[in-house]
Structure 1
């Protein structure tokens, strides 16, 4: 399975990467077209998140303007403020007043733990790095591997992780995923058995799964839930107390599904099945795209990854 998250028309991805001089971290930003509905499902026991409560289907605002994935653990969540500033300067956000700039951008975010992996614990992403990643966002193919939020990512504490992506059709719709893999577990299948888990806030796999289908907030959130199956198929163990595994879901609304309930349910089941498939493929793509960095070798995946 190949493709990019940006195969969903209207999405743009930007990275900010810092390597060397005590740095090994970064930020990845997904910018959305207006009207994109968002959802989320947090399964890990050690999450670092920002504005995920705003994605509950029962809340006021159903749409999101961007999703931020960042290194730096909880410190890195400040990058979302930089993305908000970038969007506000362009008038993007939820209107809260009569003026053209009186908006509040909705920017949920989540972080992976990579503190100190570049050699200096205090070198973690800043607000300015979030702004720069948003400014770098473009449609079309984007860099994978040791870039953006995957720059300091590890697998099982001993192999290099990174950023991966994949896409596939689901009927008339497209479903795609971007994964930042910094997991306690190791890929399945793989020639190396999973290492014993050492408790601690040292891991997390973050995912953005997107579709161009027209979904309501509840359907979008359910897609995030279904997509977690892809993590469970790709990594062992997963959703542990030492992971912050989080899946964001986006629906841009370009492709209408059936209105009649029985047919619509069938289309949703297929779309969510494909969501799990592309998440698994994106995770394995991240592992395959990672390079050896310092003392962390690339994981020896077998040639056939799907």
Structure 2
């Protein structure tokens, strides 16, 4: 589409005003938290057959809650959902949340924090799981505390950070990735769309015929050429570059993420953006949305408006959501480093592992 343009910026979720991003890790797992202190219109779409989620029902367009204050993307399988409680506690301490009784009791607030998890327990130490304290540290990193560890800063990290620390993408190392785009709207203005993704799919991120990443159309210039030896090494780790082996599929799966925009979308339109994000996942991971995946995408609009946007503009925003998700997935794989005995795609193709 000619109305989709890539413009300079950080090329991350932080290109959407009103969002803050922080990561925190434990030994072999972690949490990535997207914080919206002033609230954001939110929605969710779940396509995987084995999701692990929290507070997703309230995001349905027919339900009452219109705004959330953070989304937690967690490692640690269902245990990792404990981190969302820590995110809530830290936001409450900072006075961020819903005034449930309005001005009658302004100090009584409840932060609204949906969450989703990936299954990464057997990678590294299975007892290493994000806790409420991990969630607190991720919020502190997102909001720029001077006491936050430099390694947990919100900046522009990718790869083995936060919930991506022990992620595996098919037969290779996965991780966390981000991307953003600018969309020209029908009124002559523009809007930003961005994505942050934890890549941990059962499916393959590489073409089993060539070894190239499926998202080849969005690759940066510094990507090494696949080698025959590298392709054979990947195929030896899983059927067609997936996590599936002759003995059966691996349970270590699920891709989760957030797409966001500063356009004034309403709650049903935000749901369309979350749906569109799965199109980007399907371009970069094949097959996707498998029964053993829990693929889940949230959509956030910090400047969302009840009136919404026009249909043509929504179509462009959805196209950008898919494109950003695809690029974020590719970036997660390219930025990943070999860890926990799982080689990265780069290391395999350059012969360094």
Q: TM-score if structure 2 supplies the norm length?
A: 0.78
Determine the structure 2 residue equivalent to 1:28.
32
Q: 1:268-283 maps to which residues of 2 (within 5 A)? A: 268-283=314-329
Unmatched segments (≥5 aa) in structure 1: none
Structure 1 position 123 matched with structure 2 position 128: yes
Determine the structure 2 residue equivalent to 1:151.
165
Contact 2:175 2:332 in 1 (8 A): yes
Contact 2:179 2:196 in 1 (8 A): yes
Determine the structure 2 residue equivalent to 1:181.
199
Structure 1 position 114 matched with structure 2 position 160: no
Q: Structure 1 residues 138, 96: closer, same or farther in 2, change over 3 A?
A: closer
Q: Structure 1 residues 45, 200: closer, same or farther in 2, change over 3 A?
A: farther
The residue matched to 1:133 in structure 2 has which SS? Answer: helix
CA–CA distance in 2 between the matches of 1:86 and 1:203?
A: 29
Determine the structure 2 residue equivalent to 1:246.
296
Contact 1:230 1:280 in 2 (8 A): yes
Structure 1 position 103 matched with structure 2 position 122: no
The residue matched to 2:313 in structure 1 has which SS? Answer: helix
Structure 1 position 299 matched with structure 2 position 335: no
Determine the structure 2 residue equivalent to 1:267.
313
| Deviation for aligned residue 1:255 | 9.1
| Deviation for aligned residue 1:153 | 0.4
Determine the structure 2 residue equivalent to 1:67.
71
The residue matched to 2:262 in structure 1 has which SS? Answer: strand
Contact 1:178 1:282 in 2 (8 A): yes
CA–CA distance in 1 between the matches of 2:45 and 2:205?
A: 21
Unmatched segments (≥5 aa) in structure 2: 1-5, 145-153, 185-189, 212-230, 232-239
CA–CA distance in 1 between the matches of 2:255 and 2:180?
A: 18
Contact 2:32 2:73 in 1 (8 A): yes
Determine the structure 2 residue equivalent to 1:219.
269
Determine the structure 1 residue equivalent to 2:156.
142
Determine the structure 1 residue equivalent to 2:215.
none
| Deviation for aligned residue 1:276 | 0.2
Q: 1:87-102 maps to which residues of 2 (within 5 A)? A: 87-97=91-101, 98-102=104-108
- Mean CA deviation greater in 96-105 or 284-293: 96-105
Question: 1:32-73, CA deviations, whole angstroms, 9 ceiling, x for partnerless residues?
Answer: 141410010000011000001111111111111000001000
CA–CA distance in 2 between the matches of 1:178 and 1:253?
A: 18
Q: Structure 1 residues 75, 196: closer, same or farther in 2, change over 3 A?
A: closer
CA–CA distance in 1 between the matches of 2:252 and 2:82?
A: 19
Return the match for 1:86 from 84, 87, 90: 90
Determine the structure 2 residue equivalent to 1:12.
20
Return the match for 2:173 from 139, 160, 166: 160
Q: TM-score if structure 1 supplies the norm length?
A: 0.90
CA–CA distance in 2 between the matches of 1:25 and 1:212?
A: 31
Q: Structure 1 residues 255, 107: closer, same or farther in 2, change over 3 A?
A: closer
Larger Cα-atom Rg: 2
| Deviation for aligned residue 1:91 | 2.1
Aligned length, in residue pairs: 293
The residue matched to 1:24 in structure 2 has which SS? Answer: coil
- Please state which structure has a larger fraction of its residues in helix: 2
CA–CA distance in 2 between the matches of 1:35 and 1:134?
A: 15
**Cα RMSD, aligned residues only:** 2.2
